[in-house]
Amino acid sequence: MKLESSKENLINGISIVQKAVSSKSTLPVLEGILLEADEKLKLTGNDLEIGIECYVEADITEPGSIVLNSRIFGDIIRRMPDSEVYIELKENQTVIIDCENSHFEIKGLSAEGFPALPEIETQDSLSLSQKLVKEMIRQTIFAVSMDENRPILTGSLIECMDEFLTFVSIDGFRLALRKNRVENELSDLRVVVPGKTLNEISKILQPVDEEVKIYNGSSQIMFDLGNCRIVSRLLEGDYLNYGSIIPEEYQTRVKVNTRQLLSSIERASLIITVEERRYPVRFSMADDKMIITSSTDMGAVKEELQVEMEGKELEISFNPRYFADALKVIEEEVIDVYFTTNVGPCTIRPVEKGDFAYMILPVRR
């Protein structure tokens, strides 16, 4: 293997595939990046949960392949002068990396031991803008469960049917749903993608109109960005029937400014310190006013919000973090909050377009 590439191109590729590299593994090869030089230079990272391959422009004079420790390889290239980098594989899996007056000799690992990315059939695909997918992940991932006892809930459901693409996360106390009308429909898409890998994918996706193609493998999903492909393992099992969880009836509806509600909830949370996290905040709705209160050993807070209200007066308590997490990702200036009873779920919905729903269970006192 002999090639030359610019520091900048190498860094871009390394930064992307590093998101799929184990920082600590019992298998040293999983802490590495696979370099394959043929007609193009391909970099691959694969921690067996998520695999990423990325093509990097390079001038290849001799093909070959090798695995280099991801941290070392990345650090070396990042620290090099902004110039052309020469990479050559010598005997005994030693790799030369030269740039201007810097000369590195690094021990590599055989490419044979590196786990290949699973092959995904690339017939049916769903084409979306990167920015939309990035946004849909951001607006639902926070409600993914951290509880390993119900593994299926540690991922987000991605479903495509009836011309709608839907992302759903549920952690047992709350639900986050974001949907979007799509033109081309991938037949029968209903998969659960691990939250951890969705998080990495959302970092790679840019807030741009360029498209990402989604392919559905039998036990994998692939996101194809053109010169970069991300393959994620899927979670096995039946996901909850989210449609039946979200209440359709309500007793009280409140139209409120999103940022004002978030600020008030955050202030009411200030006196709930970490050790006392179980303290809830209380919402009281009456006379077009929403009063948010909290009270702990440290003191008391009272926040008053002007709202548009419909239905019964209500007093109800919530874990403030669940409300704040949802409000932080909502772009709409004004939202509707639908309450059932003071022990039943409440749902945040947009006032106009029906493209999201956040459901939160109250705290029973």
Residue (6 or 251) nearer to a copy of itself, CB? 6
Q: How far is the CB of 82 from a copy of itself (least distance, A)?
A: 11
Could you tell me which of 93, 54, 97 has the C-alpha nearest to residue 72?
A: 97
Residue (102 or 110) nearer to a copy of itself, CB? 102
Compute the distance between CA of residue 292 and CA of residue 315 in angstroms, rounded to an integer: 10
Residue (3 or 305) nearer to a copy of itself, CB? 305
Q: How far is the CB of 152 from a copy of itself (least distance, A)?
A: 37
Residue (28 or 237) nearer to a copy of itself, CB? 28
Q: CB neighbours (10 Å) of residue 100?
A: 12
Give the list of residues 6+ apart from residue 102 with CB closer than 8 angstroms, or none.
80, 81
Residue (112 or 297) nearer to a copy of itself, CB? 297
Residue (98 or 124) nearer to a copy of itself, CB? 98
Q: How far is the CB of 306 from a copy of itself (least distance, A)?
A: 8
Q: How far is the CB of 267 from a copy of itself (least distance, A)?
A: 5
Q: How far is the CB of 86 from a copy of itself (least distance, A)?
A: 14
Residue (234 or 281) nearer to a copy of itself, CB? 281
Site for a copy of itself, rule CB under 8 A = 69, 72, 75-76, 79-81, 94, 101-107, 263-264, 266-267, 270-271, 297-305
**Which residue is listed with tokens 């290239």?**
77
Question: Do residues 57 and 39 touch, judged by C-beta distance below 8 A?
Answer: no
Question: Do residues 334 and 307 touch, judged by C-beta distance below 8 A?
Answer: no
Mutual orientation of helices 195-204 and 130-138 as an angle, nearest 10°?
140
Token pair listed for 215: 């392919």
Residue (12 or 93) nearer to a copy of itself, CB? 93
Token pair listed for 123: 């017939």
Amino acid (one-letter) located at 227: N
User: Angle CA(153)–CA(358)–CA(133) in degrees, nearest 5?
Assistant: 70
Q: How far is the CB of 273 from a copy of itself (least distance, A)?
A: 8
Give the list of residues 6+ apart from residue 147 with CB closer than 8 angstroms, or none.
153, 154, 171, 172
**Which residue is listed with tokens 């049917």?**
161
Q: How far is the CB of 296 from a copy of itself (least distance, A)?
A: 10
| Strand (E) or helix (H) holding 329 | helix 320-329
Q: How far is the CB of 69 from a copy of itself (least distance, A)?
A: 7
Half-sphere exposure for 157 (CA within 13 Å, toward CB): 24
